[in-house]
Amino acid sequence: MMYESFKLFAGVLSNRTRFDIVMLLMKKEMSVLELCSESAYEQSRVSHNLKCLLNCGFVDVEQHGRRHVYSLNHEMKDLISEIENHIQLYEARLRKCDILREET
């Protein structure tokens, strides 16, 4: 079981589009179009990936008129910011292994 949930978690976030969306939603809740303009990804792309995030419990939606406002699930928010810390550690370790290129 452990693995299924890890795979789900990792799979969701190891995609640039979804990762970016999640990071945007870390700041504030947004509608689909707002996410589009902030991310510069096209609408259907954002929608498809929001659906995925919704299915996996990463985000919640609330509908106001014709805007669907997406927010990061507040429990996920905590979890993700903790993961962020770990990743920074991991980054440092990867650099030691010369896996990651230095930024230009």
Partner DNA sequence: ATATCATATGACGCATTGGTCATTTTTAAT
Partner DNA sequence: ATTAAAAATGACCAATGCGTCATATGATAT
Strand intervals (E) in the chain: 30-31, 59-64, 67-72
103 scored as a contact of a copy of itself (CB under 8 A): yes
Among 28, 48, 93, 95, binds DNA (CB under 7 A): 48
Q: List binders of DNA among 49-68 (CB under 7 A).
A: 49-52, 61, 63, 65-68
Alpha-carbon distance values, 8 to 15, 53, 63, 67, 91 (Å): 12, 10, 26, 28, 22
Indicate which of a copy of itself, DNA, none lies near residue 71 (CB less than 5 to 8 Å, by partner kind): none
37 scored as a contact of DNA (CB under 7 A): no
Q: Which of 63, 61, 58, 78 is nearest to 9 (CA)?
A: 58
7 scored as a contact of a copy of itself (CB under 8 A): yes
Shortest Cβ 35–a copy of itself spacing (Å): 16
